[in-house]
Structure 1
């Protein structure tokens, strides 16, 4: 599970405090997503540390959610069967979209891709969005087998 990324359509209007808060929220939901996947036994979640250099290198050049297969390189480096990519699109402080895609590393095929829209820019609303995505993933036997 690669860390979630943030696409902020209002980034030019944000100050340093807002940016710090948003990055903290992205870290929070990345950790929460991994924990929920583990706790619900939907996946064994790999430690990304062995691929941290590759992830950093790829992330400097592009968003991991739209990098044309670079997430598969990360999956191969980690020796996993599936790789998860999460991104948050912040349209405004009221409208936020959280996305999750799970891909088969061998084929590159997306086995799960869903999105939830949340209202409100709080830790709790973002965490509820992640829970809703994990609930949908848990309901999809093809994605988790």
Structure 2
């Protein structure tokens, strides 16, 4: 009897391990630029960096094998015309339209060229519950600082073995 229970447990664990990873929609990062230069001249270099870190996040999460990344093209226009951080759940609705189990929104807040904060929010699409949030400050407004900050958050927060799980 004990052998049968152990065998059934192994079968169950094997079927869970073979299950498809959760479907994930990663929306393009948004910028909140309250810096003085941003007010006067716009945020041109940052706009290119937003696209780069969004693609970087998608690639590294896809390469991890822990998620099945979905193409957000069908809802990209609607998402770009909404403030996903404060739209009352429109991000969840858009992710649901894609068939996502999970969704990521992100925001970069630029106070000045020396004070910039990168934020990532991972939510369950069905419940709307926050699974985890990750944030890091960076000092310096360069392509390298943005990319390194994103790599840090992916490696040490989103893909860390026990990050965001109750102890």
The answer to whether the 8 Å contact 1:2/1:86 transfers is yes
Calculate the TM-score normalised by the size of structure 2.
0.76
1:26 deviates by 0.8
When you count helix as a share of all residues, which structure comes out higher? 1
1:8 maps onto 2:33 in alignment = yes
Give unpaired runs (5+ residues) of structure 2.
Answer: 1-25
The number of residues matched between the two structures is 137
The answer to whether the 8 Å contact 1:102/1:143 transfers is no
What is the aligned partner in structure 2 of residue 137 from structure 1?
Answer: 158
Moved over 6 A (4+): none
1:50 deviates by 2.0
1:27 deviates by 0.7
Calculate the TM-score normalised by the size of structure 1.
0.87
CA RMSD of aligned residues (A): 1.8
Give unpaired runs (5+ residues) of structure 1.
Answer: none
1:121 maps onto 2:148 in alignment = no
What is the aligned partner in structure 2 of residue 36 from structure 1?
Answer: 60
Shift in CA distance, 53/8, structure 1 to aligned 2, threshold 3 Å: closer
